[in-house]
Copies of this chain bind each other. A is one copy, B any other.
Amino acid sequence: MNVGRLTVIGIGLIGGSFARAVRRGGAVGEIVGCSADAAELRGAIDLGVIDRAETDVAAAARGAGVVMIATPVGAIPAVFRAIAGSLGEETIVSDAGSVKGSVVAAARALLGRHFPRFVAGHPIAGTERSGVAASLPDLYVNQRVILTPEAETRADAIATVRALWEAAGAHVEEMPAGEHDAILAYTSHLPHMVAFALVNCLGGAEPASELLRFAAGGFRDLTRIASSHPVMWRDIALANRDELLRALHGYQGSLAEIIAAIEKGDAAALEAIFARARALRERLGNAGQAHGQSKMPPS
C-alpha cells in the first residue's frame, strides 16, 4: 500500500516520528510538513523527516492522499477549519490527539462532507521530550494505536489509516471515542496531573535546594513525565475535562483515605490500604508482561 502524498500538520515528536516510520515502511510518497514553528520545519527538512515544508495549512493539505494532524489537541479545530476547503474528494484525514471525543465533535462540525473520511486516532506512545529532534522512526513499534471511528466513517478510510500505523509497527485497535477518553483519563492524564502536582509540591517546600539534592533518586523516575510539554497538557486537560475531573476526584478520595488513616494512627487500615495497592500493582506487572510494552510514558 502507498497512499501517495502524506501531509503532516504539526511536525514535532509525534508527527515527526509518524513521518519517519511510514516512510521507512514504504507506505507513502512525498511527505509535506506543516508547522507554525519555522525552526521545527527547518529541523524536519534538515533531518530528512519531510521532503517539503509548508507554512500555510490549507496549501499543505492540497493534493494530499492522507493528512495527519499531530498538533496539540487544542489546535486541531483550527486545522480542520483551515483545511476543509482544500481537501480532495478522496483525501483521508486523521489525527494523533490524546483526547478523542472533543476532536471527533470538532471534525463533525468543521469538516462537513469530508467527515466520513476522517478517522480519529491516538498512538499510545511518546516520551517526555518534544520536538522533531526527539522524533524516532521506531517510536510506535509494538505500541498501541487506538482508532475511534464513528458510525458514518468509511471503512476504506479506516483501513488506510490502520495500514499506515501498522506500517509504522504499531498494534491498532478500535473503540468508541468516549471509552477511549475514560480509559486514558485514568491511565495517562491522571498520572500526569499527579506528577505535575508532586513536583510543584516539592518546589513549594523548604529548603527547596536540599530537597532537590535528595530528590534525585526514585522521585526522579516518578516525576519524569512532569517534563512533558505544558501546552500539550493544558489542551489535554481541558479537552478531556469531565473524564479527567472524575478521575481526579476519585484520586483525591484514595489519597484522603491514606491521610485519614495516618491522622488516626490506624496501623491496620494503613497496612490494608498498602496491601491492596501492592496486590493490584502486581496484577498490573503481569498484565504488562503479557503484552509488549515500552518504558515510555504515553500521553
Could you list which residues of chain A lie within 8 angstroms of chain B, going by C-beta atoms? 74, 124, 144, 179, 183-184, 186-188, 190-191, 193-205, 210-231, 233-234, 237-238, 241, 244-245, 247-255, 257-259, 262-263, 265, 267, 270-278, 280-285, 287-288, 291, 293-298
Contacts and interface: CB of A to CB of B under 8 A. Distances in A.
Given A198-B254, A218-B191, A238 B265 contact: yes
Contacts of A259: 245, 248-249, 252
A187 B210 CA distance: 10
Contact of A247 (B188, B201, B217, B285): B201
Contacts of A271: 230-231, 234
A265 B249 CA distance: 16
A111 B201 CA distance: 38
Nearest to A232: B274
Contacts of A205: 186, 247, 250
Interface centre among A219, A233, A238, A283 (most CB of B within 10 A): A219
9 contacts: A186-B205, A201-B250, A201-B254, A204-B254, A216-B284, A223-B281, A224-B281, A228-B274, A230-B274
A248 B172 CA distance: 40
Contacts of A225: 218, 222
Contacts of A212: 283-284, 287
A248 B254 contact: no
B254 A200 contact: yes
B187 A270 contact: no
Contacts of A233: 270, 274
Given A255-B193, A280-B202, A284-B212, A217 B298 contact: yes
A257 B248 CA distance: 12
A202 B282 CA distance: 13
Interface centre among A188, A191, A249, A297 (most CB of B within 10 A): A191
A137 B179 CA distance: 47
A201 B253 contact: yes
A222 B297 contact: yes
A18 to B, nearest CB: 18
A226 to B, nearest CB: 4
B277 A222 contact: no
Interface centre among A200, A204, A278 (most CB of B within 10 A): A200
A259 to B, nearest CB: 5
A215 B245 contact: no
